[in-house]
């Protein structure tokens, strides 16, 4: 088990920057998610850490040891591939034992280690099957068993669950988390699925165009995204553009004049530097009032019109027209009467839920 430290790593393919000065630390035993849209450089970063690719600039250390000159086969990293990459000509047993036989582990030791890990991933009894005779979920488990059986220092997973259907994916997420806890191995999961990142990891790093946009605990990033990209990629957000230079810090909080002319309050003094400001509000932080109701004093309000509501069982989401923007508001399905399409409403939220970011 070991910590990973990535310092100022850049990687260029031709004139294309796949990684741009990325620095991120992964502490020993943690579960990290690298989250970003397709093509943002997640796989490239993982391959650089694994040793399949090398950074143009910057350094990587695993367990405090610089790994530049260590080839993949000596780095002691467990890898799980998106398409499982099980050896088709070997049985489940031989697939899992591969890393141990390469290390010339004694036969009895191999037996007990393989059975131990098969028990961990709950695949006892399938030792003599070939990969072609396994279901998707079982292949997944074999791939995971194979990646951890030799007790690597870190476990790297590249979108490991994206080939599974939804119910199996949820089940495997729980399993993955359980196994990671039991083994206690530093785990780095690459995903473009924000939900997966939020439920599984202790910390998230968000990548966009090869740049590490933000890193932090899931809740922190969710509540305090640093950029509009982070706000919209991790969770849903209503973006409200502010007028240039309209950000006014005050004693109890600050005020921002939006481009539509309304002024809203926020109590976030983090951003002081910038004249160009974007505000964001999460849809579940807003609620709706009939336009003739009076909101509590001190709340932010916007007048809008209901475009439609989308029913999703336990919850509803409203689409609202506000000037020429569409806003979204989530509501619990708690028996309150629905707002009809076309009816005027007031959107209400607390100033502390206004996220202020640099544009």
Partner 1 sequence: MSDKADIQRRPVNRALPVLLGPAYLWLAVTVFLPLSAMVYFSFLSETPIGGREAVWTLSNYGEFFDKAFYRTLMWRSFRLGAEVTLLCFLFGFPCAYVLAKMVKGRWREALFLLVILPFWSNALVRIFSWTMVLRGNGVLERLVNVFLPDVGSLNLMFTYPAILIGLVHSYLPYMILTCYISIQAIDDDLIEAARSMGAGRFTVFRRILLPLALPGIMAGSILTFVPVIGSFMEPRLLGGRNGTFIGTVIEDQFTAVFNWPLGAALSFIMLGFVLIVLLLAAPMIRRAST
Ligand X SMILES: Nc1ncnc2c1ncn2[C@@H]1O[C@H](COP(=O)(O)OP(=O)(O)O)[C@@H](O)[C@H]1O
Q: Does residue number 191 form part of the binding site for Mg ion (CB under 5 A)?
A: no
Q: How far is the CB of 34 from ligand X (least distance, A)?
A: 8
Closest CA to 135 of 115, 156, 98, 165: 165
| Beta-carbon contacts of residue 163 (< 8 Å; ≥ 6 apart) | 82, 83, 84, 136
Considering only 87, 119, 259, 270, the residue that binds partner 1 (CB under 8 A) is: 87
Q: How far is the CB of 18 from ligand X (least distance, A)?
A: 4
- State how beta strands 65-66 and 248-249 pair: unpaired
The nearer residue to Mg ion, 47 or 203, going by C-beta atoms, is 47
Q: How far is the CB of 41 from ligand X (least distance, A)?
A: 4
Q: How far is the CB of 220 from ligand X (least distance, A)?
A: 22
Residues in the chain: 359
Q: Which of residues 279-338 bind partner 1 (CB under 8 A)?
A: none
On the 0-12 / 13-18 / 19+ scale of CB atoms within 10 A, 295 is: middle
Closest CA to 49 of 156, 148, 151: 156
The nearer residue to partner 1, 78 or 235, going by C-beta atoms, is 78
The nearer residue to partner 1, 157 or 213, going by C-beta atoms, is 157
Contact string 98-117 vs partner 1 (x = CB under 8 A): xx--xx--------------
Distance, CA of 308 to CA of 14 (rounded, Å): 47
DSSP 19: E
Tell me which of partner 1, ligand X, Mg ion, none is bound by residue 41, counting a contact when its beta carbon lies within the kind-specific cut-off of 5 to 8 angstroms: ligand X
Tokens at residue 96, please?
A: 């899992």
The stretch near Mg ion (CB under 5 A) out of 3-11, 14-22, 39-47, 230-238 is: 39-47
Q: How far is the CB of 154 from Mg ion (least distance, A)?
A: 18
* Residue ranges binding ligand X (CB under 6 A): 13, 16, 18, 36, 38-44
Distance, CA of 249 to CA of 265 (rounded, Å): 10
Contact string 25-64 vs partner 1 (x = CB under 8 A): -------------------------x-x------------
Tell me which of Mg ion, ligand X, partner 1, none is bound by residue 330, counting a contact when its beta carbon lies within the kind-specific cut-off of 5 to 8 angstroms: none
Q: How far is the CB of 124 from partner 1 (least distance, A)?
A: 22
DSSP 98: H
Distance, CA of 106 to CA of 257 (rounded, Å): 71
Q: How far is the CB of 214 from ligand X (least distance, A)?
A: 16
Q: For the chain, what is the total number of helices (H) and then of strands (E)?
A: 8, 21
The stretch near Mg ion (CB under 5 A) out of 26-34, 35-43, 100-108, 168-176 is: 35-43
Other CB atoms within a 10 A radius of the CB of residue 355 amount to 26
Q: How far is the CB of 253 from partner 1 (least distance, A)?
A: 52
| DSSP character string of 263-325 | EEEE---S--S-SSEEEEE-GGG-EEEETTSPPPTT-EEEEEEEEEEEEETTEEEEEEEETTE
- State how beta strands 186-191 and 154-158 pair: parallel
Considering only 14, 64, 69, 73, the residue that binds partner 1 (CB under 8 A) is: 73
Interacting residues toward partner 1 by CB under 8 A: 50, 52, 71-79, 81, 83, 85, 87-89, 98-99, 102-103, 146-147, 150
């Amino acid at each position: 088990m070991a910590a990973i430290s990535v310092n100022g790593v850049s990687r260029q393919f031709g004139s294309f920057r796949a990684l741009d000065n990325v620095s991120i630390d992964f502490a020993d035993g943690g579960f990290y998610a690298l989250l970003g849209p397709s093509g943002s450089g997640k796989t490239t970063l993982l391959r650089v850490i694994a040793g399949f690719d090398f950074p143009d600039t910057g350094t990587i250390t695993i367990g405090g040891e610089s790994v530049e000159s260590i080839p993949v086969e000596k780095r002691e990293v467990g890898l799980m591939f998106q398409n499982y990459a099980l050896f088709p000509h070997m049985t489940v047993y031989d697939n899992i034992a591969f890393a141990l036989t390469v290390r010339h582990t004694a036969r009895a030791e191999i037996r007990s280690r393989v059975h131990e890990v098969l028990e961990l991933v709950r695949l006892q009894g399938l030792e003599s099957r070939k990969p072609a005779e396994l279901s998707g979920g079982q292949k997944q488990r074999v791939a995971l068993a194979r990646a951890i059986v030799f007790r690597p220092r870190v476990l790297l997973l590249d979108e490991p669950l994206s080939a599974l259907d939804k119910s199996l994916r949820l089940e495997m997420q729980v399993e993955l988390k359980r196994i990671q806890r039991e083994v206690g191995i530093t785990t780095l999961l690459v995903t473009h699925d924000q939900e997966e990142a939020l439920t599984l990891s202790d910390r998230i790093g968000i990548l966009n165009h090869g740049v590490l946009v933000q890193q932090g605990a899931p809740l922190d990033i969710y509540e305090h995204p640093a950029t509009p990209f982070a706000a919209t990629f991790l969770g849903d957000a209503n973006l409200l553009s502010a007028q240039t230079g309209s950000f006014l810090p005050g004693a109890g909080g600050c005020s921002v004049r939006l481009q539509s002319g309304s002024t809203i309050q926020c109590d976030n003094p983090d951003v002081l530097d910038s004249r160009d400001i974007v505000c964001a509000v999460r849809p579940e932080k807003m609620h709706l009032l009939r336009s003739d109701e009076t909101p509590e004093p001190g709340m932010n309000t916007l007048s809008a019109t209901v475009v439609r509501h989308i029913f999703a069982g336990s919850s509803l989401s409203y689409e609202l027209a506000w000037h020429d923007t569409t806003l979204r508001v989530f509501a619990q399905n708690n028996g309150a009467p629905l707002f009809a399409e076309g009816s005027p409403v007031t959107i209400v939220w607390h100033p502390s839920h206004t996220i202020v970011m640099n544009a």
